[in-house]
Chains A and B, each alone.
Chain A
Amino acid sequence: MNRSTLRARGARILMSAGLAFAAIGPATAPVAAADPVVLRVGTTQDNDTLNPYSTLLVVGYEAFQLSYNLLVDFGPNLEPVPGFADSWERAADGHSWTFHIRDGMKWSDGQPATSEDACFSWQLAIDSIRENEGSGYLGAGYIDPGLADAGVKAVDCSDPTTMVATTDDASQRILQTYLPIIPKHIWGTETYATIGDATFTAPLVGTGPYQAVEWQTGQFIRFQRNPNYWGTQGFADEVDIVIYKTADSMVQALKAGEVDYIHGANADQLNALKSEANIKTVAGAANGWTQMAFNTYGTGTGNTIPGGGPSTPALLDAAFRDALGYAVDKQTLVDKVLGGYGDLGDTIVPPVQTQWHVTPDKPRTFDIKLAKQKLDAAGYKLDASGNRLDKANNPIALRMYMPDSDDNYPKAAQFIADWYGQLGIKVTTQVLDSGTLGEKVLPPEADPKAGYTADYDIELWGWSWNVDPSGELQIFKCDAIGSSSDSQYCNPAFDKLYDQQLAAPTDAERKAIIAQMQNIIYDEAPYDVLYYDANLDAYRTDRFAGWYNVPSNGTPMFTYGTLGYTQLTDATIVTPPPATEAPAAGATPAPSVGPGDAGSGSGDSTPLVIGGLVVVGVVVGYYLMRRRQGAGGTMKDEGEE
């Protein structure tokens, strides 16, 4: 009896709770307009921020590229094409550039976009470089190096239609600076010190083709057509970047037609997708590589690290590293590890940077016998039991570490351990998480108090790069030891060439120097670039046509520029959907439930939560009520006890 009363009370409470939840539910539901054309793009990266200065992820770059323009954009072959500026010219002395800002251009909120915005955006980077006496300080540190490398000293915008930039060298690198132009009327109160921490809440205001209007972490970023975009308006009214936790789920979604494009499949998945109807796969050359970085700490300086550093002085010997280079069969790595998708590694400028890449003057081939001969000749003999000895007669055993971020790393490591084993060199491999590995390769220079010891022999990891090659050259400079260097390589001659290439007045002269630098690193081999990775993407051809690779050996999306989005057309053109009304849909402001105004932070799941609770409340309440009635109805039975 007691329990029945309790149940009844519980039922009443739940019922009223259900009603209460119903009462606080949304009073109005969004009303559907004509269905907009939505392009859905899948990726496995969870975006970190919409702040272009602070994002570290490819997906974050994609978001800001769609929303903002660069002063000078990237064309089909990554050449400079009009962006925020529609033309430019260089002064006779090469130290001053005049950029003509597009006439009558408007921000997506309708405000005029002028040279003032361009100057404001560039000035942020210039201030940061000046105040910090170096670059790499603005936000996450990826934006200002572009201007620092280009030697930009000052900008002037006394005329609203032009921006004049002065540089301290006469190079052309100013045309490849990856720096978004953001609206001054919105961000004008921010400075170089604060912009990195500013909250870029969707909807963003930009001049790019699609504006980010909503972002839910772990779920999606939504973009809507910018009605004021100056270039070709894309066919899609809306672009949604959908975030997946695993590539498997993403592939299934593509097959089911839930997304139109996926970025970052693996070789098996790509092969399986090839036989699917209406799906096309693309293996685009990635602007990056996978490498073995040898720990050469102490080269030239003779410095050692107590309790750390390379386990054998042989690693400091270029002849030793060169010999090892003959023992790596890169073709096998590409075939077996990458499933054939990728290019054989050689120099440190990826071949996708066609303008700068050179093949090595003295290429190595896979030849174990030759590797052995070279080791013998360099003074590394075998002992009686077949172990390779260093010059102090200690057996050489190398410790190879790799991060857990890529399944291909351990596979490649197995092959390499086998090949090196044939030379009499034992390799132990270990997978570490990226954070641990990142610290493991740091030498004391990084922070004398932190106790870093660079305690490794080989680091197997990868990098990806910008359009301008300065980044991949930078990590081999002496002053990169303690920060980005993972080979601890130091060669003053290389450093000198680095400064020269920055100052080279023409691209041809610059390329000659960069070619020299690529050969130095290839010959001295602090790095063995194993392969240039490929981006494995796939897309559906039944809804959108006009897929366009940027550059021609790249992929349509997650690359440089936004041509892949704006060139898309209707694949069902025979019976065009009511897409003609699209601009109107694009002009409507973002739906009311965005992260910016949701307040509670629960985003658009709030009504569902309430709905769900109402349902539960009512169902449980009803059930308990029934139980109570049931109990009352059989009271006679109870009485029998």
Chain B
Amino acid sequence: MGSRYLGRKLAQALGTIFAIVLLNFVLFRMMPGSPERVLLRNPYLSPGKVEQVRKAWGLDAPMLPISVSVDPPAFSINPRNQLTSYIGATFSGDLGYSFKFRGTPVTEVIGQRFWPTILLIGFGEIIAIAVGLAIGSYAGWKRGSLTDRIGSGISLILYSMPYFVIGMPLILIFAARLGWFPTSGMLTVGATYGSFVDQLIDFGRHLALPLATVSLGLIGSYSIIMRSSIIETRAEDYVTTARAKGLTDRQVLSRHAFPNAMLPMVTLIAINLGYVVAGAITAEVVFNWPGLGTLTVGALSARDYPVLQGVFLLLSVTVVLANLVADLVYAFLDPRVRS
């Protein structure tokens, strides 16, 4: 039964990824505006040059393998078309070449931006999970207390604040005014480091403010959901039993209420971790963080189809995988799900 469950989930995940690959192709080509026009606002541009560029980028080929036209009635099969060459290349691991960065492989373009985002959002998630769960469970446990009111209030405020609203004041105060941290970037450009530790320190100083922004922005959702989850478990019979046994309040919370309240959180965390790669576009923009979010924005305005497809593929695959992991972990934690 276990292997059947696993098999079903894996098949679902693979099916979803294939659908995404197809959707990726259609989605960006449905946008008005074509890449060669975006790139070439040139007073000397000739139709011949446009044709040349379209050919070089494979945009002259028909989009689909089959074309049907009503007026005049026509039907043709296109052996050379954008769709099949895209699917073939994608599944062989070739994401193509960036239009915007003039032929740089997409894997290289994404590779440069991948780790900065993972580090920033990954650390941000870890901090937010730890702090959010702590605030949420304590507030829920002490429902109605002053701590609850302050904790929930702060959580709600943070939850509703976009990253740039959190980030800009941090820059103004801690970077521009006090000068404790650099305003932006990931490393001091052009710096020569005496040792690896120096470089790590420089990185840490650059990371501090964006990390604070991202974690502050994420804490809200964790603490709010954790709080309600704890409140639910508080009313459960086993909690009453535990109290009746004479366990201390702290023991009841940490051993009985908290682990059970974590069940819904596992799903939330797993799904959120899927979005780590998607990053936080506004936070990256404010702090000039060279991540995937800003790459996506740039690629979008340049109609850089290959990069967009690559980024979206990466994002969707991580989200699908994170969901798969959530399903599996959940099944492991809660045997009822397996049957």
Contact = CB atoms under 8 A, between A and B. Distances in A.
Contacts of B172: 252
Contact of B48 (A55, A132, A219, A435): A132
B245 A434 contact: no
B301 A471 contact: no
A249 interface: yes
Interface in A29-77: 29-33, 35-36, 38, 40, 46, 48-49, 51, 54-56
B192 interface: yes
Given A136-B46, A238-B190, A605-B186, A217 B40 contact: no
Contacts of B46: 134, 136-137, 141, 483
A253 B183 contact: yes
A249 B103 contact: no
B294 A245 contact: yes
Interface in B33-48: 33-35, 37-48
A497 to B, nearest CB: 17
A244 B205 CA distance: 18
B101 A217 contact: yes
Given A32-B192, A483-B45, A601-B112, A246 B285 contact: yes
Interface string B244-261: 010000010001000000
A609 B183 contact: no
A608 B176 CA distance: 25
Interface in A107-125: none
B232 interface: no
A258 B182 contact: yes
A633 interface: no
B306 interface: no
Contacts of B115: 602, 605-606, 608-609
A55 B103 CA distance: 12
A591 interface: yes
Interface string A365-394: 000000000000000000000000000000
A256 B176 contact: yes
B288 A249 contact: yes
Nearest to B130: A623
B270 to A, nearest CB: 16
A145 interface: yes
A30 B39 contact: no
Interface in A225-259: 238, 240, 242-246, 248-250, 252-253, 255-256, 258
A137 B171 contact: no
Interface in A454-489: 463, 465, 471-472, 474-475, 480, 482-484
A46 B101 CA distance: 10
B82 interface: no
Interface string B161-201: 00000001001100110010011111111101111100110
B176 A255 contact: yes
A30 B192 contact: yes
A48 B102 CA distance: 7
A447 interface: yes
B265 interface: no
Contacts, number: 231
Nearest to A142: B42
Contacts of A435: 31-35, 37-38, 301, 303
A218 B192 contact: no
A249 B186 contact: no
A40 B159 CA distance: 37
A604 B185 CA distance: 13
B114 A484 contact: no
Contact of B189 (A51, A242, A484, A616): A242
B44 A135 contact: yes
Nearest to B37: A438
Contacts of B196: 25-26, 29, 607, 611
A303 interface: no
Interface string B115-128: 11011001100100
Nearest to A404: B301
Contacts of B109: 217
A33 B192 contact: yes
Contact of B33 (A217, A244, A434): A434
Contacts of B315: none
Given A252-B171, A608-B119, A602 B45 contact: no
B12 interface: no
Given A29-B199, A253-B184, A602-B111, A222 B190 contact: yes
Max chain B Cβ within 10 angstroms of own Cβ: one of A55, A222, A253, A638: A253
B252 to A, nearest CB: 11
A35 B285 CA distance: 30
A252 B41 contact: no
Contacts of A217: 101, 104, 109, 112-113, 290, 295
B108 interface: yes
B190 A38 contact: yes
Contacts of B38: 434-435, 438
A439 B49 contact: no
Given A601-B107, A601-B111, A141 B42 contact: yes
Contacts of A249: 171, 183-184, 285-288
Interface centre among B39, B45, B179, by most A CB within 10 Å? B45
Interface in B189-220: 189-190, 192-196, 199-200, 203
A603 B43 contact: no
A154 interface: no
B215 to A, nearest CB: 15
Contacts of A434: 33, 38, 41, 301
A575 interface: no
B324 to A, nearest CB: 19
B7 interface: no
B100 interface: yes
Contact of B47 (A197, A482, A603, A640): A482
Contact of A252 (B119, B175, B303): B175
Contacts of B47: 445-447, 482-483
A134 B193 contact: no
A246 B286 contact: yes
B212 to A, nearest CB: 16
Contacts of B118: 609
A483 B188 CA distance: 43
B26 to A, nearest CB: 17
A640 B251 CA distance: 12
B50 interface: yes
A55 B102 CA distance: 8
B52 interface: yes
Contacts of A437: 33
B298 interface: yes
B287 to A, nearest CB: 7
B193 A30 contact: yes
Interface string A562-576: 000000000000000
Nearest to B54: A447
A605 B187 CA distance: 9
A256 B49 contact: no
B284 interface: yes
A433 interface: yes
A246 B123 CA distance: 24
Contacts of B70: none
A637 interface: yes
Contacts of B182: 253, 256, 258
Query: Across chains A and B, which 8 residue pairs bring their CB atoms closest together, nearest first?
Result: A435-B33, A601-B111, A136-B44, A49-B102, A601-B108, A435-B38, A29-B196, A438-B37
24 contacts: A31-B194, A32-B192, A132-B48, A136-B44, A141-B45, A197-B56, A217-B112, A219-B186, A222-B190, A242-B189, A245-B284, A245-B286, A245-B294, A249-B183, A249-B288, A253-B184, A258-B185, A435-B37, A483-B47, A483-B50, A484-B41, A601-B105, A604-B187, A607-B199
Given A40-B189, A256-B182, A258-B184, 19 more contacts: A56-B39, A132-B48, A140-B42, A141-B46, A217-B104, A217-B109, A217-B113, A219-B186, A240-B189, A244-B184, A245-B284, A246-B288, A434-B33, A436-B33, A484-B44, A591-B192, A600-B111, A601-B105, A606-B115
